[in-house]
Amino acid sequence: MPRWKPDARQRLVVEALRLFAEQGYDATTVAQIAERAGLTRSTFFRHFADKREILTTGQQVLSRLLTEGIDTAAPDATPLTAVAAGLERASGEMTSFNRELSPLLHAAIEANEELRDREALKSIGMATAIVEALKRRNVPEPAAQVAAELGVLAFGLGYTRWADPTRDQDPGELATHTRAAFDELRAAAAELR
């Protein structure tokens, strides 16, 4: 078995998700994941601390991208415009690889209570990252919280539409879907007055 393969991390993620979907998260071992990916356990542990980290790594990257987009928004941007910039930044980094993994990830999460709980925490983590980024822009806490929740909802809705495996046509870019979802939610929020 070669010691180094350039796509090891992606292969580990794909094979882990396949195994989680086939036999369940709890029944899947690190050794099985590594073997299925054609790698060693030590290679697995160079990339991930444990099998749970496979599912949480994306959250850290997503939160970082969202905050980068907010941090680089125009200084005079409104809170919602800054969140839109964060959504644009994060969505722009998602590729067809992310879209292809979505059904496997969804199946693994739906089949395991611990993973469903972690998925809920992911949304809370994203919202917290957005709130902190907005507070650095001197946005008051209540406004930052509302803007963050709209951003998280928009990302989730846009991602769901983009990753929908029943779509017959090319879904295009994720950013198109998150932008449309955010616009819909902004319009709905405006009607709440």
- Residue-wise pLDDT for 93-103, tens only, equals 988 888 888 88
**Is there a single domain that holds both residue 34 and residue 66?**
no
**Is there a single domain that holds both residue 6 and residue 100?**
no
125 contacts: CB under 8 Å, gap ≥ 6: 59, 63
**Is there a single domain that holds both residue 71 and residue 12?**
no
Segment 136-153 mean pLDDT: 96
Q: Which two tokens stand for residue 154?
A: 């928009």
pLDDT surpassing 90 at residue 29: yes
Q: Which two tokens stand for residue 136?
A: 């650095």
Query: Which backbone phi and psi does 38 adopt, to 5 degrees?
Result: 75, 30
Count of structural domains, the chain: 2
**Is there a single domain that holds both residue 69 and residue 140?**
yes
Encode pLDDT of 35-53 as tens digits: 999 999 999 999 999 988 8
**Is there a single domain that holds both residue 13 and residue 105?**
no
Domain that holds residue 19: 1-48
pLDDT surpassing 70 at residue 3: no
Segment 56-71 mean pLDDT: 89
**Is there a single domain that holds both residue 94 and residue 140?**
yes
CATH number at residue 130: 1.10.357.10
DSSP 74: -
Q: Which two tokens stand for residue 1?
A: 């078995």
**Is there a single domain that holds both residue 186 and residue 97?**
yes
CATH number at residue 25: 1.10.10.60
Yes or no: say if 84 and 158 are a contact pair by the CB < 8 Å rule. Answer: no
**Is there a single domain that holds both residue 35 and residue 59?**
no
Residue 19: pLDDT band (50, 70, 90) is very high
**Is there a single domain that holds both residue 163 and residue 113?**
yes
The pLDDT value given to residue 5: 53
**Is there a single domain that holds both residue 117 and residue 88?**
yes
Q: Which two tokens stand for residue 115?
A: 């993973």
**Is there a single domain that holds both residue 136 and residue 152?**
yes
Distance CA 80, CA 19 (A): 40
- Residue scoring higher pLDDT (23 or 58): 23
pLDDT surpassing 80 at residue 168: no
Distance CA 15, CA 7 (A): 12
Last residue of a domain, one of 32, 48, 64: 48
Yes or no: say if 60 and 146 are a contact pair by the CB < 8 Å rule. Answer: no
**Is there a single domain that holds both residue 126 and residue 172?**
yes
The pLDDT value given to residue 115: 79
Segment 125-138 mean pLDDT: 96
Provide the 3-class DSSP secondary structure of residue 173.
coil
**Mean pLDDT, the chain, whole residue set:** 89
